[in-house]
Amino acid sequence: MLKQRVITALVLLALLLPTLFAPMAWPFAVLTLLVIGAGGWEWGRLNGASPGGAVAMGVLLALACAGALWAGWALMPPPAAWWLATIVWVLGGAWALKTGPGAWPTLSTTLRWGLGLVALWTAWLAMANAKSIGINFILSVFCLAWAADIAAYFGGRAFGKRKLSPAISPGKSWEGVWSGMLGVIALSAGWVMLDRSWAVDSASLYTRLHERYGPVGLVLVGVFLTAMSVVGDLVESLVKRSAGAKDSSGLLPGHGGILDRVDALLPVFPLALAMTSI
């Protein structure tokens, strides 16, 4: 299993890094378009779509992303997209986590499909736009979700006592969430100093937030985005539990599916851009 995980990770990096560091924005946009399309297929499978219907959902999502790319939205997206994502994730996420896995299937399949398509499309648009802003900016958003996850993992193992949501993800604790928030705050402070000390192609998310809201605002937004990364993780776990699935699919040997790898990023990217567009 470990060998399989390592091989899959290396293949993914070999595909991702050249597009991420390419001077043009479109290679990364196209690669992530394909990835998000596969995520749409997984979402359909987890939410009652037939095999053909799940494929159609993935194709529809990919076409919606391609249409936005053709319209130039990867460079100049409509700000309303970020606020649509904010409403879906904050209100929808709160409802899903409050009611638990049992309530999710009571929603109509059309609504569940629509919510997933909106969440995935806005996440893709935010990633494509973040790449067009600059490498430093997009890496700072990626690292927020990764730092939150890593700090939460070690903090939860060391101090975790109170379960966050045992019905959805028994392994997560409140102490892990707080550790993730502290990790992101430390990352934010370090990255702001790095931006001041090194020549970078663009201001990071943290420098933009610091310039816009000051140090207190930077901390508050960092805490909010960390919380939303946890919501993304929990919502995907909730949907899988509702469907009786361990992984979103087997597309990534040793890692599960696309949604298993990007769940925390789905709310973080559009909400990060929402916070910088106020």
Residue spans of beta strands (DSSP E) within 80-126: none
Q: Which amino acid is at 266?
A: L
pLDDT in tens, 164-196: 988 899 889 999 999 999 999 999 999 999 999
Answer whether 222's CB lies under 8 Å from 184's CB. Answer: yes
pLDDT in tens, 184-235: 999 999 999 999 999 899 999 999 999 999 999 999 999 999 999 999 999 9
Q: Report how many domains make up the chain.
A: 1
Q: Within its chain, how far is the Cα of 6 from the centroid?
A: 22
Question: CA 143 to CA 128: how far, in whole Å?
Answer: 16
pTM above 0.85, yes or no: yes
pLDDT tops 80 at residue 2: no
| Per-residue tokens: 57 | 């959902």
Q: Which domain holds residue 24?
A: 2-277
- Name the phi and psi angles at 165, rounded to 5: -155, 80
Answer whether 148's CB lies under 8 Å from 93's CB. Answer: no
